[in-house]
């Protein structure tokens, strides 16, 4: 069975229809119906292959494949070992501002949320945070900010990157989408990775969840990873916020997006993240909850079909799940994270976090637990001289 044409990574930049999977020309309903019809035999055949197609990816995320998780784990583990050895790279996020002019209904930083518990760090405070993170042994940093362009401008971000590059070998960004010139400025300042989640690939739902602010522009966000790759960013992180929409539909869209990016920007490496919504207060009800088993099936399918790509697992997930998933899928994980600006160097009590954490272990405890399962924690796999 072929779910979509082998030419599927076909961009449709001005796609106006709702419920059509971006980057492929097929209606979501058709795709989901076909996934439901995939028989066990197709899953077995896909698992026996060395080179998997987009149709095999569909088999592995199908309802039938949920009965094949042990076989999928075995195949994914072998591929993870082949491409990354028995290692996982550790990084930490540094939140520099919890102000945001957007109003994403699922996020603790949304503009409608309380203002009195927000914080924006100055350059000296960012340096202090960086030094506190460095003391934990972390050498790879992800700088995170809400959309706060008056204060967290491109020129300020460039200063931040230059300052943090004095402390860290690798600096990446998770910020609002920029024009090509903005990405070039930050790449030239020393940032080498960019993460930008589409949140949901479903255009109609996206409009509902982002009722105000610049983030309302679906296409501008969808095309941001391509603009960053064009500016030279080596690592491009993409993903959907799981729990907003049917996870199988999001998986198909994410795979199509990644395939298109890989084909067009082969010098950049794709990094997948699979963040599940965690409660932050404010009464947002998760519309399409994703179970741990479904999350694992999705991650295994990505590891098997995109074996050389990075897969990240954050502290949103429990330590039990993280310890399991680094053996089969994830080669990147955050540790000792604070999701509050100033959370590493000062007390963050009462301050607003972007999401809740399930794994609150220290970096040392994470390293210790990884060693117990035969995995080496890698703190440095990038040098400042690279890409200088
Ligand atoms: S998800 Fe990002 S853009 Fe949306 S409110 Fe939160 S910080 Fe702002």
Q: Is the CB of 109 under 6 A from ligand 1?
A: yes
Residues 288-325 pLDDT 10s: 999 999 999 999 999 999 999 999 998 989 999 999 99
Q: Is the CB of 221 under 6 A from ligand 1?
A: no
Of 139, 105, 65, 66, the closest CA to residue 335 belongs to 139
How far does the centroid of ligand 1 lie from the alpha carbon of residue 346, in Å? 23
Q: Best mutation site among 103, 173, 215, 282 for ligand 1, i.e. most ligand atoms within 8 A of its Cβ?
A: 215
**Cβ–Cβ < 8 Å for 143, 167:** no
For the chain, what are the domain ranges? Answer: 85-378
Residues 263-276 pLDDT 10s: 999 999 999 999 99
Lowest-confidence segment of 35-49, 94-108, 155-169 by average pLDDT = 94-108
pLDDT at 281 over 70: no
pLDDT band at 29 (very low <50, low <70, confident <90, very high): confident
For the chain, the average pLDDT equals 89
Q: Name which residue sits closest to atom 5 of ligand 1, judged by CA.
A: 110
pLDDT at 17: 45
Q: What is the 3 state secondary structure string of the chain?
A: CCCCCCCCCCCCCCCCCCCECCCCCCEHHHHHHHHHHCCHHHHHHHHHCCCCCHHHHHHHHCHHHHHHHHHHHHHHHHHHHHHHCCEEEEEEEEEEECCCCCCCCCCCCCCCCCCCCCCECCHHHHHHHHHHHHHCCCCEEEEEECCCCCCCCHHHHHHHHHHHHCCCCEEEEECCCCCHHHHHHHHHHCCCEEECCCECCCHHHHHHHCCCCHHHCHHHHHCHHHHHHHHCCCEEEEEECECCCCHHHHHHHHHHHHHHHHHHCCCCEEEEECCECCCCCCCCCCCCCCCHHHHHHHHHHHHHHCCCCEEEECCCCCHHHHHHHHHHCCCEEECCCCCCCCCCCCCCCCCCCCCCCCCCCCHHHHHHHHHHCCCEEECCCCCCCCCC
pLDDT at 11 over 50: no
Residues 165-202 pLDDT 10s: 999 999 999 999 999 999 999 999 999 999 999 999 99
Q: Is the CB of 139 under 6 A from ligand 1?
A: no
How far does the centroid of ligand 1 lie from the alpha carbon of residue 280, in Å? 13
Angle in degrees, CA 71, 73, 74, rounded to 5: 65
Q: Best mutation site among 95, 97, 99, 102 for ligand 1, i.e. most ligand atoms within 8 A of its Cβ?
A: 102
pLDDT band at 280 (very low <50, low <70, confident <90, very high): low
pLDDT band at 10 (very low <50, low <70, confident <90, very high): very low
pLDDT at 1: 28
Q: Which atom of ligand 1 is nearest to the CA of 199?
A: 1
Is pLDDT larger for residue 339 or for residue 198? Answer: 198
pLDDT at 211 over 50: yes
pLDDT at 111 over 80: yes
β-strand pairing of 332-334 with 140-145:
unpaired
How far does the centroid of ligand 1 lie from the alpha carbon of residue 336, in Å? 22
pLDDT at 23: 74
How far does the centroid of ligand 1 lie from the alpha carbon of residue 328, in Å? 31
Is pLDDT larger for residue 96 or for residue 118? Answer: 96
| High-pLDDT (> 90) share of the chain, % | 76
Q: Is the CB of 102 under 6 A from ligand 1?
A: yes
CATH number for the domain running over 85-378:
3.20.20.70
Residues 72-85 pLDDT 10s: 999 999 999 999 99
Q: Is the CB of 215 under 6 A from ligand 1?
A: yes
Place of tokens 């995320």: 61
How far does the centroid of ligand 1 lie from the alpha carbon of residue 133, in Å? 23
């Amino acid at each position: 069975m072929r779910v979509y044409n082998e030419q599927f990574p076909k961009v449709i930049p001005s796609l106006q229809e709702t419920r059509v999977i971006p980057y492929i020309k097929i209606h979501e309903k058709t795709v989901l119906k076909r996934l439901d019809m995939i028989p066990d035999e197709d899953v077995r055949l896909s698992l026996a292959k060395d080179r998997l197609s987009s149709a095999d990816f569909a088999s592995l995320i199908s309802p039938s494949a949920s009965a094949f998780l042990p076989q999928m784990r075995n195949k994914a583990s072998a591929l993870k070992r082949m491409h990354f050895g028995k290692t996982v790279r550790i990084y930490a996020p540094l939140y520099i501002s919890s102000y945001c002019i957007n109003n994403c209904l699922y996020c603790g930083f949304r503009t409608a949320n309380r203002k009195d518990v927000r914080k924006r760090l100055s350059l000296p405070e960012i340096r202090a945070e960086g030094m506190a993170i460095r003391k934990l042994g972390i050498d790879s940093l992800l700088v995170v900010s809400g959309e706060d362009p008056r204060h967290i401008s491109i020129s300020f971000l460039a200063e931040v990157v230059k300052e943090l590059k004095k402390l860290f070998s690798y600096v990446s960004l998770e910020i609002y989408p920029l024009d090509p010139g903005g990405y070039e400025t930050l790449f030239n300042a020393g940032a080498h990775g960019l993460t930008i989640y589409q949140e949901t690939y479903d255009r109609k739902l996206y409009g509902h969840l982002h009722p105000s602010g610049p983030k309302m522009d679906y296409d501008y966000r969808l095309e941001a990873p391509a603009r960053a790759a064009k500016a030279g960013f080596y690592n491009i992180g993409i993903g959907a916020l799981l729990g907003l929409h049917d996870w199988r539909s999001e998986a198909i869209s994410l795979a199509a997006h990644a395939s298109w990016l890989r084909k067009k920007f082969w010098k950049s490496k794709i990094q997948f993240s699979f963040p599940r919504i965690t409660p932050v207060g404010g009464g947002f009800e998760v519309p399409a909850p994703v179970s741990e088993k479904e999350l694992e099936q999705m991650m295994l399918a990505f590891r098997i079909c995109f074996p050389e790509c990075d897969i990240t697992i954050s502290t949103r997930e429990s330590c039990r799940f993280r310890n399991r998933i680094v053996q089969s899928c994830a080669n990147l994980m955050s540790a000792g994270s604070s999701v509050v600006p100033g959370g590493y160097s000062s007390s963050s009590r009462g301050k607003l976090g972007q999401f809740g954490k399930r794994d609150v272990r220290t970096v040392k405890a994470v390293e210790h637990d990884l060693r117990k399962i035969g995995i080496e924690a890698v703190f440095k796999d990038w040098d400042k001289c690279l890409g200088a």
